[in-house]
Amino acid sequence: MTNATAEVHRDRTHFLYLAVIVAVLLGVAVGLLAPDAAVGLKPLGTGFVDLIRMMIAPVIFCTIVLGVGSIRQAATVGKVGGLALGYFLIMSTAALAIGLVVGNLIHPGSGMNLDETAAAAGQKAIGAESAKTTADFLLGIIPDSLLSPLATGNVLQTLLVALLTGFAVQALGERSEAVLRAIGLFQRVVFRILAMLMWLAPVGAFGAIAAVVGATGADALISLAQIMLGFYVTCALFVVGVLGTLLWLVARINIFSLLRYLGREFLLIVSTSSSESALPRLIAKMEHAGVSRTVVGITVPTGYSFNLDGTAIYLTMASLFVAEAMGDPLSVAEQVSLLLFMIIASKGAAGVTGAGLATLAGGLQSHRPDLVDGVGLIVGIDRFMSEARALTNFAGNAVATVLIGVWTREFDRDRARRVLSGDDPFDERTMVDDEHGAPAPHREPEHAGA
């Protein structure tokens, strides 16, 4: 009886994501046939993303507090965090370098001319970039109050408060069990709400796609097809070649099986152009796939701010594109200098639409102010390129979570094989496993493997 009921629920969610695909196609049709009306549908997409975004802070808070509060040794958290930050720095640098190499090979933007409209758009983009020093960035992580991150949704502030709370719960000893049970129940409520909100995904996808197609039309997509195609191919090669190779060498997991497991999340990202819309589901699914709650709770939220592989590739390729389009290509020395700047600047780009464009404008302003007007050339297709950025960022964080889990011996390989093969499906109704939903002891090393 239970298995039959579960099967019915899985079939219903399957139809939900088929509805998302149909909604995307309808959105494209409406955007092309009635562009003015389609632009007015933008609030539908914005509203759905906002609904999902409001769930991010409580999901992160519950996951981290349960993960940190239930482990025996606080040193484990520092080990996970240190490995994650080191890995993020290396992979972001590699992604930036790959973007430069490909950009120099295909020479995107050559032969294009900048008009006054594009120049105005470029100036608007640079105006959206707020210059922040390192001190401002670090001070911005400190919230106004202990509970304010849950209200504002700031990921890094939520991460800080959750870590502090987790360590405090851990210090309570046996008395922490009641707190952990309460937070565990609250987590189940949060995931139930999230599962309910997902039924609005077709409406959000329809509004988002219709609005962007209605605003840009097909001309922007056709006129700048070279940079888009080059960027999409580069992202695909990075995910399959670089991330896929690492995943196989370290965890002996096929990248395509992981991507298939996260297929619904990728569809959600494509329809909303925001990797943040899939963050809560990534946390739930990586726990289900055998990565410990501690590793997931630290790696995934941190990765959303520090492991933006797709954004890194975009920043370097787009910089070369703008320089070529302006008829003033960047020298090798300027490219290296810009790469070093982007290593830091890319860490401040959030996983939401438009952040990459503002970061690009800020990078050019700091190195080649004469090229800032050229940012307007890419405004028309930035929405479409943001999808590839978000997909690559998401894939990079999923792979990173598995790798950190293996390196810290917090990864259940046998469970991962069952999950990725389809023998242990993810429960779309609760998004929390009975086995893994409650505070669990530290995983034993023999499940991890090298």
What are the tens digits of pLDDT across the range 85-135? Answer: 888 888 888 888 888 888 777 766 555 554 445 555 555 554 544 445 556
pLDDT of residue 4: 43
Name every residue whose Cβ is closer than 8 Å to that of residue 57 and which is 6 or more positions away in sequence. 149, 150, 151, 152, 153, 154, 155, 158
pLDDT of residue 19: 79
pLDDT of residue 441: 39
Between 379 and 78, the higher pLDDT residue: 78
pLDDT of residue 255: 93
Q: Please calculate the CA angle 351-269-190 and round it to the nearest 5 degrees.
A: 80
The answer to whether 29 touches 213, Cβ cutoff 8 Å, is: no
The structure's pTM equals 0.65
pLDDT of residue 190: 81
Position 403 pLDDT exceeds 80: yes
The answer to whether 291 touches 401, Cβ cutoff 8 Å, is: yes
Distance between CA atoms of residues 60 and 327, nearest Å: 46
Rounded alpha-carbon distances, angstroms, from residue 334 to 63, 100, 338, 407: 43, 11, 6, 37
Give me the residue spans of the domains in the chain.
Answer: 2-447
Position 309 pLDDT exceeds 70: yes
Confidence of residue 217 (pLDDT cuts 50, 70, 90): low
Between 449 and 180, the higher pLDDT residue: 180
Position 399 pLDDT exceeds 90: yes
Q: Please state the rounded mean pLDDT for residues 207-216.
A: 73
Confidence of residue 406 (pLDDT cuts 50, 70, 90): very high
Distance between CA atoms of residues 434 and 437, nearest Å: 5
Distance between CA atoms of residues 424 and 415, nearest Å: 8
Average pLDDT over the chain reads 74
Q: Please state the rounded mean pLDDT for residues 227-244.
A: 86
Position 244 pLDDT exceeds 90: yes
Q: Please state the rounded mean pLDDT for residues 248-263.
A: 92
Sequence length of the chain is: 450
pLDDT of residue 280: 82
Confidence of residue 242 (pLDDT cuts 50, 70, 90): very high
Return left, alpha or beta for 132; rule: phi > 0 is left, psi -120 to 50 is alpha, else beta. beta
Domain 2-447 has CATH 3.30.70.60: no
Q: In the numeric block, which tokens belong to residue 358?
A: 């503002």
Position 72 pLDDT exceeds 90: no
